[in-house]
A and B are shown apart, each in its own frame.
With several copies, the nearest count.
Chain A
């Protein structure tokens, strides 16, 4: 789960990471109650990246200009992401910018510091970055090794090391996937300020983080409706442009099925991994949610029953066909309790494919007819 900038900054402040004084507003009139002096900064609170380039950050030199800008910004949608509110901050006097983040490094299998002696950058494409793997248990010297690699010295060395330690504590305490300060600003008074920040909470850990209880729904606003609904049901749905709805058990198999559909000339309408061990009810929910997509002409169900039992899937199919007798279904079922499933579906007229390629070819050809 990604947090909005204003949320990330509140959390930074709780962990002793200084941020500019800021006020979140949802109506232009609220600007009248803010007394930062001028100019001030107005920033769209959106989930997507590229906000600056899209014009989502503006400076106002007086209240009139501020209200006009606020009105415009509050109605902006940036890279598909709706503006939730504005964060208003005084303009900061910047002596220098840095980049600082903590994330999990897949290759090393541990958290790492990523930092750069320049800020506001696209970290993926920067050459100036330094990385320091973070051993467990943590001690602050790791942050000092980072500060040294950044080429810092004196007071700034100590301040950046201290802030990096705080950022790691936050990352660990709140089970984050990413804690990023970009840019980390050195003010003309040699103080550090997190001018912009990004926090990504690990989805699997959210249930043990009381702070984020109930946040999930309000942070999926940019997701298409059916994807949001799936997430709440514990299903992994990704919608695509085609007309063949794909449902499998297991992420790799779902991707492989999707790839085969494309390879054999079809167009996948979605990726839906119903997960391992789904019972009749969950399987039915999965089929229904794909069925709700008006672009989908054919539903291709591919179940290789290991932990998922084929008879549970067959039960869901029987119920679905009762409700939607006209929907074109192509079903491949194999594995645990396959024999029971076959008996259950014997009277339905539904042909069961034991082989995946045969099923995919059938789905592709049926979809072409349907178009």
Chain B
């Protein structure tokens, strides 16, 4: 597995909000070590429906619990502040679930994180799961099961769809990382791919992309140069019209660039198996696992 495991101690920023509280409960029931919530002015309370203590600041939560990761559910305009707080309090991984963060704020936060050697996933992402061990975010845990497939994706529910197909075909997952659908974000494909490449628990990597930008093209080049394990890819938006934002802030074909076709072509040319449907992803993983390929 990569990045998180059963020993990972997690705080939730914005834990007393509706979404924060609901998902704190779900994470706990999955087995995640959620050791603290943080909501300014609510220190001393418990996260509603749980025994998890709430602190006023991340620094205090970290000092009292030894947590190293923060899952962030605060409203969009407060994420930059919350993220800087987490970095300054010594968190080594931020998982930003919040959707609608202004991208200039994201750019500032990622630059801060990079300069301090802190990893960040998101924003506008479902989080990360190491099946059977821990879940940080909003992914539905029941869909995943432990196994050798590493997943990295710009999408949320589409990731669940593909995880479902994989789990149904008995291809469990080592870790699944939802990097989020915003144009500017923390971890990008190459960083996650490298982690999977170095992870002894991961045999096959599934890369899920979508239209917009050129992250998949860059990932293709990166895989060709650096990744020894087999990769299966899926790109959503093959029939998307140009110039229209398809839900995600980052999912738009503009100036003829960022089409699914361009991405699929680049991936294929890098020796990556490209599936056309979620079910086909599972089929290609089956094939690869029965006939291991070495690049």
- Which residues of A come within 8 Å of B, CB atoms? 104, 106-107, 109-111, 124-125, 135-137, 139-141, 144-145, 147-148, 153-155, 157-158, 161, 172, 175, 177, 202-205, 207-208, 236, 238, 240, 248-256, 258-263, 268, 271, 273, 275-277, 304-307, 334-336, 356-357
Check if B49 is an interface residue, CB within 8 A of chain A. no
Instruction: Decide: A157 and B40 in contact? CB cutoff 8 A.
Output: yes
- Please report the number of residue pairs spanning A and B whose Cβ atoms sit closer than 8 angstroms: 210
Known: A136-B108, A175-B104. A271 touches B246 (CB 8 A): yes
Which of A106, A145, A153, A260 touches B43 (beta carbons < 8 Å)?
A153
Known: A144-B40, A177-B103. A240 touches B241 (CB 8 A): yes
- Assembled-state Cα–Cα distance A110/B104 (Å): 8
Which of A251, A268, A335, A356 touches B181 (beta carbons < 8 Å)?
A251
- Assembled-state Cα–Cα distance A249/B140 (Å): 14
Query: Residue on A with the closest CB to B234?
Result: A256
- Assembled-state Cα–Cα distance A106/B164 (Å): 30
Instruction: Decide: A252 and B103 in contact? CB cutoff 8 A.
Output: no
A-B pairs, top 3 by smallest CB distance, nearest first, are: A251-B247, A252-B155, A250-B157
How far does the Cβ of B209 sit from chain A's closest Cβ, in whole Å?
Answer: 9
Given A148-B60, A252-B210, A307-B138, 11 new contacts (CB under 8 A): A106-B215, A109-B107, A139-B85, A141-B58, A144-B40, A154-B41, A250-B158, A251-B181, A252-B181, A263-B238, A271-B247
Instruction: Decide: B107 and A251 in contact? CB cutoff 8 A.
Output: no
Check if B90 is an interface residue, CB within 8 A of chain A. no
Known: A104-B103, A276-B156. A251 touches B248 (CB 8 A): yes
Instruction: Decide: B103 and A204 in contact? CB cutoff 8 A.
Output: yes
Instruction: Decide: B238 and A109 in contact? CB cutoff 8 A.
Output: no
Instruction: Decide: A259 and B157 in contact? CB cutoff 8 A.
Output: no
Query: Residue on B with the closest CB to A235?
Result: B247
Residues of B with C-beta under 8 A to A139: 80-81, 84-85
Check if B7 is an interface residue, CB within 8 A of chain A. no
Instruction: Decide: B156 and A204 in contact? CB cutoff 8 A.
Output: no
Instruction: Decide: B157 and A253 in contact? CB cutoff 8 A.
Output: yes
Instruction: Decide: B126 and A306 in contact? CB cutoff 8 A.
Output: yes
Instruction: Decide: A259 and B41 in contact? CB cutoff 8 A.
Output: no
B194-219 interface code vs A (CB 8 A; 1 in, 0 out): 00000000000000101101110010
Query: Residue on A with the closest CB to B255?
Result: A124
Residues of A with C-beta under 8 A to B81: 139-141
Residues of A with C-beta under 8 A to B156: 250-253, 276, 306
Residues of A with C-beta under 8 A to B257: 124
Check if B224 is an interface residue, CB within 8 A of chain A. no
Check if B273 is an interface residue, CB within 8 A of chain A. no
| Surface stretch bound by A, among B225-233, B274-282, B285-293 | B274-282
Residues of A with C-beta under 8 A to B149: none
- Assembled-state Cα–Cα distance A196/B44 (Å): 32
B71-98 interface code vs A (CB 8 A; 1 in, 0 out): 0000011001110110010000000000
Instruction: Decide: B44 and A148 in contact? CB cutoff 8 A.
Output: no
Known: A107-B215, A109-B184. A255 touches B246 (CB 8 A): yes
Instruction: Decide: B102 and A205 in contact? CB cutoff 8 A.
Output: yes
- Assembled-state Cα–Cα distance A161/B57 (Å): 11
Instruction: Decide: A251 and B185 in contact? CB cutoff 8 A.
Output: no
A sample of 20 inter-chain contacts (CB < 8 A) reads: A104-B103, A106-B214, A107-B215, A124-B257, A141-B81, A145-B57, A157-B41, A204-B249, A252-B158, A253-B157, A253-B236, A254-B246, A255-B238, A256-B236, A262-B238, A262-B239, A271-B240, A271-B247, A306-B160, A357-B277
Known: A107-B213, A107-B218, A263-B276. A141 touches B88 (CB 8 A): yes
Check if B159 is an interface residue, CB within 8 A of chain A. yes
Residues of B with C-beta under 8 A to A336: 140
Check if B48 is an interface residue, CB within 8 A of chain A. no
Query: In the complex, which residues 89-146 of chain B have their Cβ closer than 8 Å to any Cβ of chain A?
Result: 99-104, 106-108, 110-111, 126, 138-140, 143
Residue of B111, B240, B260 with most partner-chain A CB within 10 A: B240
Instruction: Decide: A254 and B238 in contact? CB cutoff 8 A.
Output: no
How far does the Cβ of A24 sit from chain B's closest Cβ, in whole Å?
Answer: 26
Instruction: Decide: B140 and A172 in contact? CB cutoff 8 A.
Output: no
Check if B295 is an interface residue, CB within 8 A of chain A. no
Residues of A with C-beta under 8 A to B234: 256
How far does the Cβ of A27 sit from chain B's closest Cβ, in whole Å?
Answer: 32
Known: A135-B88, A141-B88, A263-B277. A306 touches B157 (CB 8 A): yes
Check if B46 is an interface residue, CB within 8 A of chain A. no
Instruction: Decide: B107 and A111 in contact? CB cutoff 8 A.
Output: yes
Instruction: Decide: B84 and A252 in contact? CB cutoff 8 A.
Output: no
Query: Residue on B with the closest CB to A334?
Result: B164
Query: In the complex, which residues 237-287 of chain B have their Cβ closer than 8 Å to any Cβ of chain A?
Result: 237-241, 244-251, 255-257, 260, 276-279
